[in-house]
């Protein structure tokens, strides 16, 4: 999609749809006021339709007067300085209002609009990001492709005041790249487990890096992992005919001596629970147990488009968790790459078993920070629902940076405790630790388990079990937390 930011004249705009704004109580933006002054129909039609400019209200003119645009949509913002969440919701309503309208070129005139505590760059990023997300459709596995949506903009123009043009352009570029990366995450998440296997993820990494100067991909097979002592990770793949893969991608956008940020993704491409078999109802959604890995892929795609000056290492621990005759059994003890031994009391707590070896592996890159991303625990869903990602960290500075990034971009997280008092729940009579800590504070003890492998660097853990996908009629991957992670990474590159 082509994007541009410039000063827009609502009276001469020739787009398929021009969007202007209203602020409630019959207060118009400069663009809407100019249309009213030219043709005198805006106020009359709004009064007739009961449109008052409340946040999220929309009114579509299919035969507008006073402009050369084919259509005009008036979007209510409620205020000339809406809150960030109010603005995001209003823009979403505008896109909903146009979803059945044939639009190829779209102009949004926001001159005179300010979002509280946000700049024009943020506005441009949100506009392009939400528009890009709306274009995603999963059609790969359908024999009959659904009819294309008539609303398929190929050109977006954002109208702002002259001082804001440069920042808005940057925001549009970032938002478009972020949408592309997030949609890749959604695509990988929505693929079924018989297609999206560990080997498939490995091939996708190679494809992403092909021909790229700043991105490389390396794949470790099970023989190499065994030589490294990754007994914990390999205990998960033992029950599957699909071999595990450790996928390593390196984005080099800064000088070689700049320590990288490391992203570690849980890539369980299907999770039956292993010998500790899950209930059958809803098990189809366990194809989403690799959404942590998918979000890492989405970040690497976005980095390639934006080319920021930062070094990022991505490590994906990819495996299936299946219950064949070779599968790990409850009570088995394995040795991790770190040398620590683990008593596996529940084979359905497998995500932490693949992650702990990946977290040990990233030590070799001497990272300045490590963030792991995982659909780790149902307990996090109970604690936080589907609105916030659970965040744990061994460094306040890193936690604060991630929380701030989430607040700014609208992909929020909530910090959870990582206190020593919880560690004793992982005590084992037979090994250095158990892989579960009982019913109490299940998300916390899972993070405590991971923390035992992160003493050599600043580390944060994002539990996205509640935010990575939706169930029900709208079932599908959300692409979270790509926005949070990318906002954090771009801040680190500044």
- As a whole number, mean pLDDT of residues 86-95 equals 97
Residue 233 backbone phi and psi in degrees, to 5: -60, -45
Higher pLDDT, 41 or 383: 383
- The structure tokens 């990602």 sit at 389
Q: What residues contact 141, with CB distance under 8 A and at least 6 apart?
A: 191, 192, 195
Q: Residue 39: what pLDDT?
A: 83
Same domain, 232 and 132: no
Looking at 178, 208, 225, the residue that finishes a domain is: 178
Same domain, 307 and 451: yes
Same domain, 127 and 260: no
Q: What residues contact 145, with CB distance under 8 A and at least 6 apart?
A: 139
Give CA–CA dist 338/454, Å, rounded: 10
* CATH label of the domain that carries residue 309: 3.40.630.10
Same domain, 171 and 284: no
Residue 75 host element (H or E) = strand 72-76
Residue 138 CB neighbour total at 10 angstroms? 14
Q: Residue 145: what pLDDT?
A: 83
Q: Could you list the active site residues?
A: 278, 352
The two three-digit tokens of residue 427, written as one number: 């005590």
Q: Supply the range of the domain harboring residue 127.
A: 2-178
Q: What residues contact 494, with CB distance under 8 A and at least 6 apart?
A: none
Q: Given pLDDT bands bounded at 50, 70 and 90, which one contains residue 42?
A: confident
Q: Classify burial at 201, counting beta carbons within 10 Å of its beta carbon; exposed 0-12, middle 13-18, buried 19 or more.
A: buried
The two three-digit tokens of residue 219, written as one number: 């794949």
Q: Is residue 183 part of a domain?
A: no
Q: Is residue 309 part of a domain?
A: yes
Same domain, 171 and 195: no
Please give the radius of gyration of the chain, using alpha carbons only, rounded to the nearest integer: 25
Looking at 178, 209, 224, the residue that finishes a domain is: 178
Same domain, 57 and 172: yes
- As a whole number, mean pLDDT of residues 399-406 equals 98
Give CA–CA dist 402/417, Å, rounded: 15
The closest of 331, 142, 304, 334 to 230, measured between CA atoms, is 334
Strand partners, 106: 17, 156
Give CA–CA dist 267/255, Å, rounded: 30
Q: Classify burial at 114, counting beta carbons within 10 Å of its beta carbon; exposed 0-12, middle 13-18, buried 19 or more.
A: middle
* CATH label of the domain that carries residue 9: 3.40.220.10
Q: Does residue 297 have a pLDDT over 90? A: yes
Same domain, 218 and 171: no
Q: What residues contact 362, with CB distance under 8 A and at least 6 apart?
A: 262, 264, 313, 315, 370, 457
Q: Given pLDDT bands bounded at 50, 70 and 90, which one contains residue 146?
A: confident
- As a whole number, mean pLDDT of residues 355-370 equals 98
Same domain, 236 and 339: yes
The closest of 360, 351, 357 to 267, measured between CA atoms, is 351
Same domain, 167 and 316: no
Q: Is residue 321 part of a domain?
A: yes
Q: Given pLDDT bands bounded at 50, 70 and 90, which one contains residue 64?
A: confident
Q: What is the DSSP string of 211-276?
A: T-SSEEEEEE-HHHHHHHT-HHHHHHHTT-SSPPEEEEEEEE-S-TTSPPEEEEEEEEEEE--TTS
Q: What residues contact 80, with CB distance under 8 A and at least 6 apart?
A: 23, 27, 29, 112, 113, 114
The number of domains in the chain is 2
Q: Is the CB of residue 214 less than 8 Å from the CB of residue 252? A: yes
Give CA–CA dist 204/129, Å, rounded: 23
Q: Is the CB of residue 453 less than 8 Å from the CB of residue 336? A: yes
Same domain, 379 and 449: yes
Residue 316 backbone phi and psi in degrees, to 5: -115, 120
- Condensed to tens digits (0 to 9), the pLDDT of residues 415-474 reads 999 999 999 999 999 999 999 999 999 999 999 999 999 999 999 999 999 999 999 999
The closest of 190, 74, 247 to 469, measured between CA atoms, is 190
- Quick check: helix, strand or coil at residue 475? coil
Q: Given pLDDT bands bounded at 50, 70 and 90, which one contains residue 107?
A: very high
Q: What residues contact 213, with CB distance under 8 A and at least 6 apart?
A: none
Give CA–CA dist 308/444, Å, rounded: 34
- As a whole number, mean pLDDT of residues 23-48 equals 88
The per-type count for the chain, helices as H runs and strands as E runs, is 14, 19
- As a whole number, mean pLDDT of residues 271-288 equals 97
Q: Is residue 64 part of a domain?
A: yes
Q: Reply yes or no: is the peptide bond before residue 481 cis, omega within 30 of 0.
A: yes
Q: Does residue 494 have a pLDDT over 70? A: no
- Condensed to tens digits (0 to 9), the pLDDT of residues 214-259 reads 999 999 999 999 999 999 999 999 999 999 999 999 999 999 999 9
Q: Positive or negative CA dihedral for 420, 425, 426, 432?
A: positive
The two three-digit tokens of residue 139, written as one number: 């059609």
Strand partners, 250: 216, 313
Q: Angle at Cα 251 formed by Cα 246 and Cα 253, nearest 5°?
A: 165
- As a whole number, mean pLDDT of residues 163-172 equals 97
Q: Is residue 236 part of a domain?
A: yes
Same domain, 196 and 169: no
Same domain, 377 and 233: yes
- The structure tokens 């990575």 sit at 468
Q: Is residue 185 part of a domain?
A: no
Q: What is the DSSP string of 412-455?
A: -EEE----GGGGGGG--SSSSEES---STTHHHHHHHHHHTT-T
């Amino acid at each position: 999609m082509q994007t541009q930011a410039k000063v827009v004249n609502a009276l001469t705009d020739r787009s398929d749809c021009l969007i202007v704004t209203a602020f409630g109580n019959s207060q118009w933006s400069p663009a809407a006021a100019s249309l009213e002054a030219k043709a005198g129909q805006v106020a009359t039609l709004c009064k007739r339709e009961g449109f008052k400019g409340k946040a999220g209200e929309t009114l579509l003119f299919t035969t507008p007067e006073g402009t050369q645009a084919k259509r005009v949509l008036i979007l209510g913002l409620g205020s000339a300085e809406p809150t960030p969440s109010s603005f995001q919701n209003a823009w979403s309503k505008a896109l909903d209002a146009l979803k059945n309208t044939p639009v190829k070129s779209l102009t949004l005139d926001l001159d005179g609009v300010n979002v509280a505590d946000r700049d024009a760059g943020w506005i441009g990023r949100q506009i392009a990001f939400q528009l890009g997300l709306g274009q995603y459709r999963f059609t790969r596995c359908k024999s009959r492709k659904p009819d294309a949506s008539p609303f398929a903009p190929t050109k977006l123009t954002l109208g702002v005041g002259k001082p804001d043009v440069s920042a808005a352009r940057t925001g549009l570029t970032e938002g478009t790249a972020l949408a592309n990366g997030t949609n890749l995450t959604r695509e990988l998440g929505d693929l079924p487990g018989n297609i999206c296997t560990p080997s498939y993820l490995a091939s996708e990494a190679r494809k992403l890096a092909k021909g790229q100067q700043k991105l490389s991909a390396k794949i470790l097979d099970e023989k190499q992992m065994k030589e490294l002592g990754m007994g914990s990770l390999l205990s998960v793949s033992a029950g599957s005919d699909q071999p595990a893969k450790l996928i390593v991608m390196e984005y080099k956008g800064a000088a070689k001596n700049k320590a990288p940020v490391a992203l570690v993704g849980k890539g369980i491409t299907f999770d039956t629970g292993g010998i500790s078999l899950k209930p059958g109802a809803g098990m189809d959604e366990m194809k989403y147990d690799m959404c942590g890995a998918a979000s890492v892929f989405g970040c690497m795609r976005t980095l390639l488009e934006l080319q920021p000056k930062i070094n990022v290492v991505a490590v994906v621990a990819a495996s299936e968790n299946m219950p064949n005759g070779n599968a790990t059994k409850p009570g088995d003890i394995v040795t991790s790459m770190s040398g620590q031994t683990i008593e596996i009391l529940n084979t359905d707590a497998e995500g932490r078993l693949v992650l702990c070896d990946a977290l040990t592996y990233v030590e070799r890159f001497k990272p300045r920070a490590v963030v792991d991303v995982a659909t780790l625990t149902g307990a996090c869903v109970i604690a936080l629902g589907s609105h916030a990602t659970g965040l744990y960290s061994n460094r306040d500075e890193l936690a604060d940076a991630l929380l701030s990034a989430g607040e700014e971009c609208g992909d929020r997280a909530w910090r959870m405790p990582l206190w020593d008092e919880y560690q004793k729940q992982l005590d084992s009579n037979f090994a250095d630790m158990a892989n579960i800590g009982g019913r109490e504070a299940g998300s916390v003890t899972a993070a405590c388990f991971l923390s035992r492998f992160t003493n050599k660097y600043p580390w944060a853990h994002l539990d996205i079990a509640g935010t990575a996908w939706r169930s029900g009629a709208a079932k599908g991957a959300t692409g979270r937390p790509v926005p949070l992670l990318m906002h954090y990474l771009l801040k680190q590159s500044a």
